[in-house]
Chain A
Amino acid sequence: MRADRRLSKTSIPIARSRSPDSIFDYPCLDGTLDSPYNWRELPVEEDVISKHKDGHGQNHPPAQPPLYFINAPIDFLLIGGASIIAFFLFKQFHSGVRDQNVINWGIYLMWAVNWPHFSATNYRLYHSKANIAQYPMTALLVPVLLTGALIGSLWSPEHIAPFLVKLFLIWSPYHFSGQSVGITMIYAKRAGFMIGKLERLALSGFIFGTFIAPTAIGETGRNTNYYFGVQYPTLGLPMWVGESAKVMMYCSGALFLLLVLNWCMKNKRLPPLMLLLPAATQYVWFVAGASVAGFREFVPFFHSLQYMLIAWSMQLKEKMDEGQIQPSKWYVLMESLRWGGANALGGAGLFWALPRLAAKYFSVPLNIAEPVVISVVQIHHFFVDGVIWKLRSPKVASPLLVNIEQMIGAPQQRPPAIVPGIKPA
């Protein structure tokens, strides 16, 4: 790898199948699969395998990775259970209207979780020169391009800003969908559930359908909408586009369920709940919850919560592997506080300070500068999120297959019985 020329060019001796059906395919959080190119060409130190700490004292990753990042209840809540519960609570006990209370809570959670999640992606890419060197165009060229878009939009808030904002508003749920697919793949890998081409197609069709159908319906007719102070037009799609997308979504969902059922019958066991949770959550966010205005306020928060669980555990794993730090609760706590604090500050910088600086410098009202800056920062995030899951460090093994117990030094426990039939390693 360009990052460290001292390393030898030996490939990791772990078998790497070229078949996309293989359990060794490395799923990325943006829903793509890592290409064999990176994996096979990765040069490593000859003795990195012997230094790998996997909690078993063995020199290779365990055959069956742990199912959860933390444990069943917490993973369930953070990956989507909390948002499904919140949806039902809203339906039952709240008018669903976007009143001031809802808006206030949305703002608090934005500061606490949503903004930091953007900062966390930037931190992951920019915190080391080696990472920047792996993806220099994303790290260096894309920000320059987006700065140009920012300047153009603030210089021409009536002609360019509406379409930059519109591009972001349509790209954003696409990005949510990619993350949902990626998380499903991670849990499938952890649970030993093989996702082949057909399963992936059906899953993607359903998850992306939950974004395409409502978006297409929202773009129907000739209206203008507002994002803060930026007015943007709808595309004026005919109704049949949204309706067709809905049909595609339900058909893909039905196909995926059939394939899961087929797997259950063949293997004579229930599917892991976590496998279905991201898709169900996505449906609640964009379809079932779309008519509940108050609930919609929190969808970005729930999306960020999913992300932060995985990003946090990866961060810990990488730091401990790279620094060869012994697992301990104290280290996990201090590093989590440091990382969380840094990201909270970074998030505030990106979403509070930057719009105000832009408004002052370009002499535009804040309700114009804010949506433009938000759009640019988030589009940059979409690019960064596409590459950071493919970052490779020769000293870190399987960062997406970690469990918290490996990092606090607790003895490995059997996977909980929520997934019957999986035997402990």
Chain B
Amino acid sequence: MKALAAAALALSFAAPLAAQGDLAMPGKERVILHTNMGDIALAFFPKAAPKHVEQILKLMRLGVYNGVNFHRVEPNFVIQIANAESRSVPMTPAQAAAIKPLKAEFNAIKHAPGILSMARYDNQPDSATTSFSILLTNAPHLDNQYTVFGRVEAGWDVVEAIRSTPRDSSNQPLRRVEVMYAEVLPSAEELAKRPLIRAAPQAPVQQEAARPGPAGAPSQAVAAVLLVMMALGLGVFWAAARYPGKPVASLGLLTVLVGFFGLFVHMAPAANTQENLAIALFIGLLSLFKLMNRFESPV
């Protein structure tokens, strides 16, 4: 199935791109967009849009695209990355200063599936800054109106997954789809060495999506071991009243801290769907902080 999709993608490129000769020749660099739905690899056309390619690569190296979301998903048209100003983490002064409007570099490359096309304001051809679209279909009405500057090299399954993500009436995804970070690679060979994260099967929006942390239900055995570790630490701490000096009690507290952190990493992803577990973890955290006040203090 994936091979068919890849072949279809290649064919959909081949005809129009053959007609565009050198312009559509990809440059050296490749970029991996590490999104929260998988990895998408991009290639650029420096001969078709040299200023656009130079600027986009510069911004990606600066980390401007880290945290930017796909704010628009139209399954029969495009998926679009928002302007960097709307990203989840505000930019540093250096990042903000690097963003400049780009003069249009319209070229003969057709708008076809997989093409990267720079977004701009209507009636302002030179207003493009950071937002761009990934075309999902042919869009001849955009030819010579918007700057084509690259294409999707790999990760089309992730593009399809984003295309299929549930969205609201204004074509905004219901669950935030975001570029966690954009990684610039020096060559296609380097990209070939990197395993890309494939699109994960999507859970319905009403249920929990994949959360950071160990996938699946927490292993009861691991949780039990960590609980025993914490109990041991607490026991040592309380028993240390019998012994002079602070080290024994403090070692007990460190055991509690390590055990609790392990438990936290293991259990917190499941806490989203189990209120009692969430409450227990929250109280556990507050108790841990209070207990750590006694670190290297007399019992």
Where the two chains meet, the residues of A that have a C-beta atom closer than 8 Å to any C-beta of B are: 30-32, 35, 37-38, 98, 100, 103-104, 107, 135-138, 141-142, 145, 149, 158-160, 162-164, 166-167, 170-171, 174-175, 178, 212, 216, 219, 222, 224, 226-229, 231-238, 241, 365-368, 382-383, 386-387, 390
Residue from A232, A367, A382, A383 in contact with B212 in the complex, judged by beta carbons closer than 8 Å = A232
Minimum CB–CB distance from B218 to chain A (whole Å) comes to 13
Chain B residues with CB under 8 Å of A135's CB are: 296
Q: Are B265 and A365 in contact (CB under 8 A)?
A: no
Which residues of chain A have C-beta atoms less than 8 A from B238's C-beta? none
The 24 listed contacts between A and B (C-beta, < 8 Å) are A35-B298, A135-B296, A159-B212, A171-B285, A224-B212, A226-B88, A229-B66, A229-B180, A233-B213, A233-B272, A235-B272, A235-B278, A236-B273, A237-B278, A237-B279, A238-B275, A238-B278, A238-B279, A241-B282, A365-B63, A367-B63, A367-B89, A367-B181, A387-B295
Q: How far is the CB of B246 from chain A (nearest CB, A)?
A: 8
Question: Within the complex, which residue of B66, B254, B282 is in contact with A235, where a contact is CB–CB below 8 Å?
Answer: B282
Give the secondary structure class of A's interface.
helix
Q: What is the size, in residues, of chain B's interface with A at 8 Å between Cβ atoms?
A: 50
B297 at the binding interface (Cβ < 8 Å): yes
Q: Which residues of B contact A219 (CB under 8 A)?
A: 278, 282
Of B90-98, B100-108, B132-140, the segment with at least 4 beta carbons within 8 Å of chain A is B90-98
B293 and A178 within 8 A (CB): yes
Report if A32-B90 is in contact (Cβ < 8 Å); known contacts: A141-B254, A163-B265, A241-B282: no
- CB-CB < 8 A to B90: which residues of A? 98, 100, 103
Q: Mark B188-221, 1 if CB is under 8 A from A, else 0.
A: 0000000000000000000010011110000000
Separation of A239 and B252 alpha carbons in the complex (Å): 34
Beta-carbon contacts of B249-279 to A below 8 Å, as 1s and 0s? Answer: 0110010011001001100110111110011
Contact: B293 with A228, CB < 8 Å? no
Q: Closest CB-CB distance, B51 to chain A, in whole Å? A: 25
B67: interface (CB < 8 Å): yes
| Residues A234 and B272 in contact, CB atoms below 8 Å apart | yes
Contacting pair B213 A163 (CB below 8 A): yes
With a cutoff of 8 Å between Cβ atoms, the chain A residues found around residue B251 in the complex are: 137
User: Do B183 and A365 touch (CB < 8 A)?
Assistant: yes
Contacts of A141 in B (CB 8 A): 254
B63, B88, B247, B282, most chain A CB atoms within 10 A: B282
A173 to chain B, nearest CB (A): 10
Tell me which residues across on chain A come within 8 A of B165, comparing CB atoms: none
How many Å from the CB of B1 to the closest CB on chain A? 27
Chain B residues with CB under 8 A of A367: 63, 66-67, 89, 181
B211 near A383: Cβ-Cβ < 8 Å: no
